[in-house]
């Protein structure tokens, strides 16, 4: 547990440093800097809440890991409403990558599922079932 907690704190700390360094480099006026520091703190708190959920999920899955479990396998696939497909739960998953990531050929998603003894559990981003997401 403490390992996940320390990793989460490290990510938040690095994010704050990165944002503050970028704001310092972009804005000469101290008034603008303080305003953007406050605005970015609000955004970082939102990201921190999402990271809390993510690391809680990681901790949960790490605790219950077994060789009999299959974890989500999300890869690009053509022919669907979304550009990604989970081969574990057979669902179309939206790509959450930004423009720069897409330009580099990287994809991202918020989906996580498991399959154990034939039972599928979806914990994050459900996506849509395979047949409903097909484009004809």
Q: What tens digit of pLDDT does each residue of 109-123 get?
A: 999 999 888 899 999
Which pLDDT does position 61 carry in this prediction? 62
Tell me how crowded residue 86 is: count the other CB atoms within 10 A of its CB: 24
DSSP 98-122: -HHHHHTT------EEEEETTEEEE
Measure the CA–CA gap between 112 and 91, rounded to whole angstroms: 11
Tokens 């990793």 sit at which residue?
7
**pTM of the entire structure?**
0.51
Question: Residue 41 is encoded by which pair of tokens?
Answer: 């703190």
Question: Residue 127 is encoded by which pair of tokens?
Answer: 């996506």
Among 38, 63, 50, 58, CA closest to 12: 50
Which pLDDT does position 55 carry in this prediction? 73
Digit-coded pLDDT (tens) for 42-77? 887 888 777 777 777 776 666 555 556 778 888 899
Confidence of residue 1 (pLDDT cuts 50, 70, 90): very low
Confidence of residue 34 (pLDDT cuts 50, 70, 90): confident
For residue 70, the cross-strand partners are: 115
The full set of domain ranges for the chain reads: 2-63, 69-133
Residue scoring higher pLDDT (24 or 14): 14
Strands 112-116 and 119-124, sheet pairing:
antiparallel
Average pLDDT, the chain: 81
């Amino acid at each position: 547990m403490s390992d996940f907690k320390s990793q989460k704190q490290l990510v938040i700390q690095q994010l704050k440093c990165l944002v503050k360094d970028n704001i310092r480099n972009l804005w000469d006026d101290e008034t603008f800097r303080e305003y953007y520091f406050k605005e970015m703190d609000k955004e970082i708190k939102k990201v921190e809440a999402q990271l809390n959920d993510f690391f809680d999920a990681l901790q949960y899955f790490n605790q219950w890991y077994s060789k009999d479990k299959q974890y989500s396998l999300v890869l690009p696939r053509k022919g669907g409403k979304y550009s990604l497909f989970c081969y574990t739960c057979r669902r179309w998953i939206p790509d959450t990558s930004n423009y720069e990531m897409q330009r580099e050929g990287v994809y991202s998603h918020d989906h996580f599922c498991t399959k154990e003894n034939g039972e599928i559990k979806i914990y994050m981003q459900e996506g849509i079932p395979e047949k409903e997401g097909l484009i004809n």
